[in-house]
Amino acid sequence: DADVTQTPRNRITKTGKRIMLECSQTKGHDRMYWYRQDPGLGLRLIYYSFDVKDINKGEISDGYSVSRQAQAKFSLSLESAIPNQTALYFCATSEGPGFNYGYTFGSGTRLTVV
Amino acid sequence: AQKITQTQPGMFVQEKEAVTLDCTYDTSDPSYGLFWYKQPSSGEMIFLIYQGSYDQQNATEGRYSLNFQKARKSANLVISASQLGDSAMYFCAMSSPSGNTPLVFGKGTRLSVIA
């Protein structure tokens, strides 16, 4: 099994629908992140969590919400999907604190909003 | 605020040649880490190499090396003997001194290796 698992891998949904992207990890890391990737824009941070009781907004949190159900699980919700939320979404985990810790990424969820 | 700049949206390299992907960063902190990730067409993000700001030697991992020039605030990725499988997006990223803020990523460089 992968260290960081994202479900679903691909999803097509309609405008206005609520959708949840799920992330689970077996790394035992406290820190988890959600990013979206758009062509030419790189990875942009949506939300992050440093432990179960900690939730922080990233640079593009509008239109999204998250839930940290357990150390291993961090879900991203789009309350009312819109077409410009079409993107590749990544969940990632890291050890920490310290500046020498990079990320372990999930395989990504490709979301299309029609 | 920290910032990562990758100025090459796309690059081509001949198979078996070496290629350098540029990354410059901006920070006023003395302690930080620099990372490179590879994203092949399949979409996953693969960690390649790490350089700490206090490391005296340039990091190397197989065919990957990081040309770290601290005074110039650059952390260029060098891929030696390019292979067709090196065709991918490459992202440079930076950590904060305490590690208490998420990594900051550049916009990426798409590398195409030509046979």
Type of residue found at B17:
E
- pLDDT at residue A96, rounded to an integer: 74
Dmax (CA) of chain B: 44
Looking up tokens 């949190």 gives A61
Distance CA B77, CA B68 (A): 9
B96 closest CB neighbour out of A43, A99, A103: A99
B105 closest CB neighbour out of A43, A94, A100: A43
- pLDDT at residue A87, rounded to an integer: 97
- pLDDT at residue A101, rounded to an integer: 83
- Digit-by-digit pLDDT tens for chain A (114 residues) are 679 999 999 999 999 999 999 999 999 999 999 999 998 888 999 999 999 999 999 999 999 999 999 999 999 999 999 999 999 999 999 987 777 888 999 999 999 999
- pLDDT at residue B1, rounded to an integer: 76
Contact B44, A5 (CB under 8 A): no
Tell me the three state secondary structure of residue B31.
coil
| Tokens, residue B95 | 């950590």
B32 closest CB neighbour out of A48, A92, A99: A99
Closest CA–CA distance from residue B13 to any residue of chain A (Å)? 20
Residue of A nearest to B36 (CA): A102
Tell me the three state secondary structure of residue A36.
strand
Is the CB of A104 less than 8 angstroms away from the CB of B47? yes
For residue A83, whether the previous peptide bond is cis, meaning omega lies within 30 degrees of 0, is no
The predicted-structure confidence for B41-99, as pLDDT tens digits, reads as follows: 999 999 999 999 999 999 999 999 999 999 999 999 999 999 999 999 999 999 987 76
- pLDDT at residue B103, rounded to an integer: 92
Is the CB of A99 less than 8 angstroms away from the CB of B95? yes
- pLDDT at residue B98, rounded to an integer: 72
Closest CA–CA distance from residue A98 to any residue of chain B (Å)? 4
- pLDDT at residue A32, rounded to an integer: 96
Is the CB of A99 less than 8 angstroms away from the CB of B105? no
- pLDDT at residue B101, rounded to an integer: 83
Distance CA B93, CA B106 (A): 6
- pLDDT at residue B6, rounded to an integer: 96
